[in-house]
Every structure is written in C-alpha cells, then in structure tokens.
DNA sequence: CGGCATCCCCTCGGATACTG
DNA sequence: CAGTATCCGAGGGGATGCCG
C-alpha cells in the first residue's frame, strides 16, 4: 500500500498539531521545561483558555507532561515527552520548508489575486 | 534568531495544509496530473464544494496548477507545481512520524482518559 | 499562579440545487 | 464535466469572570 504522503491516518496528526496553537506550544516547550505563565508570555496572542486547552490535548496524546508542585502559590511545569521531542523534529522539516517558501507563496498569492481582479475588470465590473 | 521550530511563520503553512483536505489533495496530485472528477473519486468523502475550495487555495498559493482545455465536455486538469512537490516531500516526514506513533498516541489517550475517570470516581461521582 | 465555566461570534465544511 | 450559489449546523476559539 504505502502512500508516500497523507493517507487517512495523516489527518490524525494534523488534527493534533494542525490547530492554531499546538505547534507553537511544542516549539516553545522544546527549548526546555516551562511554567504555565512562561508559556503564556512567550506565545504571542494565546489566551489563557487556549493555552490550557492545547496543553491538555498535548498531555492527553503523550506529547507533553504536566507536573504539579503542591506549593503555594501553585507551580505547574510542562515539558515535552521523548515522543514529543521526536514530533518536534519531524515538524521542523515543515517549518524549514515554510521559511524557504513563504516568500514564493506570498508572491503566488499576490499574482493570483491580481489576475482575478483583471478578469473581473474585463467582463465589465458589477 | 532562528527558532528551530514553529515561530509565527510556521503557522502560515499549517493554515494552508492543516485544513481538512489539502494534504490529501496534495498527496493524490503527487501521483500524477489528475482531472477534477478523478480527484473527487480518489479522495474519500470530499464534497464537490470542498474539493473546489481546496484546489483554489492550493492554486492561489502556487502549490497546484489548473489547466482548462476548452472542449466540450469541459476538461480541467490539476497537477502539483515544483514547489508543491517539495511541499509533499516535506509533509511526508510528518506522515512517517504519524504512522510510527499513532499507536503510541492512541495508547496515551486511552491511559489519560482512564486516569481521568479514576479521579472522578474517587471524589464521589456527581 | 494556574486554572475552569460561561457566553458568544465566526469560520469551516456538509447538503443541496442550479449552470455553461 | 466542472463548477457556482445558498443555506445551515457544529465547533474552534476569544473575552470575561470566578476559584483553590
């Protein structure tokens, strides 16, 4: 069988890291173990709620661990599991691709959009 | 700076291939140039609308091309651009990772869910 | 500090019907 | 054959407020 890419199963990881925040959380956690507030501070624009939701998902999937220290004030630390680290490596391939091609993609978009406008102009604007 | 993984820009590719269908379309197109109906037939469960929407997106980003042959009945062919092919390669890293770890993830989930139920049992079910 | 609960909007995507 | 147009429900995710 062996599809080189993206049979039905491939969607399942995208369901996990393809959401708005997972990959960024994984990336930041990849640096080292971090506390909740650290993560929140370092991931620009994430809400408290979504950070919690995302972390729970990663924890559930065995990608991150959550360690609670029973002190006051509460101290909770998150880190990647070994599997999480391998996921980060795998994802980095895509990230590298992104960095290499984002300009090209932006150019393609601009081009495409411009051509769409041309077409709309030709047949008399509505 | 050089984040190894997933700075802000990484999200941008996930916005492109992280949706429900893009990766599968890319994968099928990776085999060879295909017609609209072929794609629809080979991608299980995709609706006509979402195939169109997805293809438009890929075309706009310079990942796929659309070629119309002015004949009746209409004949439209889609294929990957060179850039699209490199994206497929990059994505395959993740797919391989997925295949290798899906079982482990499923196990982690089952575990996690079981532990959640235990906790809820302990403090008197509501 | 590190959450959970609630409200609510908005986008994604499915179903269906119509066209060149 | 290869679309476009419209409607609609589900859920992702932001804002806010309360809690141990």
Q: Tell me the average pLDDT of chain A.
A: 88
Residues A26 and A54: their CA atoms lie apart, in Å, by 10
pLDDT at B116: 83
Chain A interface disruption, residue of B55, B95, B100, most A CBs within 10 A? B95
Lowest-pLDDT range of A70-84, A110-124, B51-65? A110-124
pLDDT at A113: 92
Helix, strand, coil shares, percent, chain B, to 5: 65, 10, 25
In a domain, A55, yes or no: yes
The number of C-beta contacts closer than 8 angstroms across A and B is: 170
Report residue A2's pLDDT band, with 50, 70 and 90 as the boundaries. very low
pLDDT at A123 over 80: no
In a domain, B87, yes or no: yes
Chain A interface disruption, residue of B2, B10, B20, B42, most A CBs within 10 A? B10
Which nt sits closest to B21, CA to C1'? Answer: C13
pLDDT at B3: 46
Lowest-pLDDT range of A30-34, A40-44, B1-5, B83-87? B1-5
pLDDT at A126 over 50: no
pLDDT (mean) for A44-53: 96
pLDDT at A120: 59
pLDDT at A5: 57
Cis amide linkage into residue A111, ω under 30° from 0: no
For helices A82-122 and B48-60, angle between their N-to-C axes, nearest 10 degrees: 90
pLDDT at A106 over 50: yes
pLDDT (mean) for A54-67: 97
Instruction: Give the residue ranges of chain B where pLDDT is below 70.
Output: 1-8, 119-126
Q: In Å, what is the separation between the CA of B24 and the C1' of D16?
A: 39
In a domain, A124, yes or no: no
Tens-digit pLDDT profile for residues B51-71 = 999 999 999 999 999 999 999
Q: In Å, what is the separation between the CA of A52 and the C1' of D16?
A: 16
CB B92 under 7 Å to nucleic chain D: no
Q: Do B109 and A61 touch (CB under 8 A)?
A: yes
Out of A79-88, A91-100, B8-17, the most confident range is: A79-88
pLDDT at A3: 46
Closest residue in chain A to residue B86, using alpha carbons only: A97
In a domain, A83, yes or no: yes
Q: Are A16 and A60 spatial neighbours (Cβ–Cβ below 8 Å)?
A: no
In a domain, B124, yes or no: no
CB B38 under 7 Å to nucleic chain C: no
Model-wide pTM > 0.85: yes
pLDDT at A10: 74
Least Cα separation, residue A43 to chain B (angstroms): 9
- Which domain covers residue B66, as residue numbers? 5-118
pLDDT at B119: 66
- Residues counted in chain B: 126
pLDDT at B43: 94
In a domain, A85, yes or no: yes
**Which residues in chain A have their CB less than 8 angstroms from residue B115's CB?**
none
Tens-digit pLDDT profile for residues A4-21 = 555 567 787 788 889 999
Measured CA angle at B29 (ends B11, A21), to 5 deg: 15
Q: Are A54 and A101 spatial neighbours (Cβ–Cβ below 8 Å)?
A: no
pLDDT at B83: 97
* Count of domains for chain B: 1
In a domain, B126, yes or no: no
CB B49 under 7 Å to nucleic chain D: yes
> What CATH number does residue B50 fall under?
1.10.10.10
Percent of chain A predicted with pLDDT > 70: 87
């Amino acid at each position: 069988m062996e599809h080189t890419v993206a049979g039905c199963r491939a969607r399942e990881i995208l369901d996990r890291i393809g959401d708005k925040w997972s990959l960024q959380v994984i990336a930041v956690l990849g640096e080292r173990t971090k506390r909740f507030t650290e993560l929140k501070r370092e991931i620009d624009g994430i809400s408290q709620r979504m950070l919690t939701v995302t972390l729970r998902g990663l924890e559930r999937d065995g990608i991150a661990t959550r360690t609670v220290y029973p002190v006051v004030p509460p101290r909770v630390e998150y880190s990647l599991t070994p599997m999480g680290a391998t996921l980060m490596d795998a994802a980095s391939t895509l990230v590298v691709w992104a960095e290499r091609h984002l300009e090209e993609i932006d150019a393609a978009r601009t081009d495409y959009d411009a051509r769409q406008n041309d077409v709309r102009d030709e047949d008399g604007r509505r």
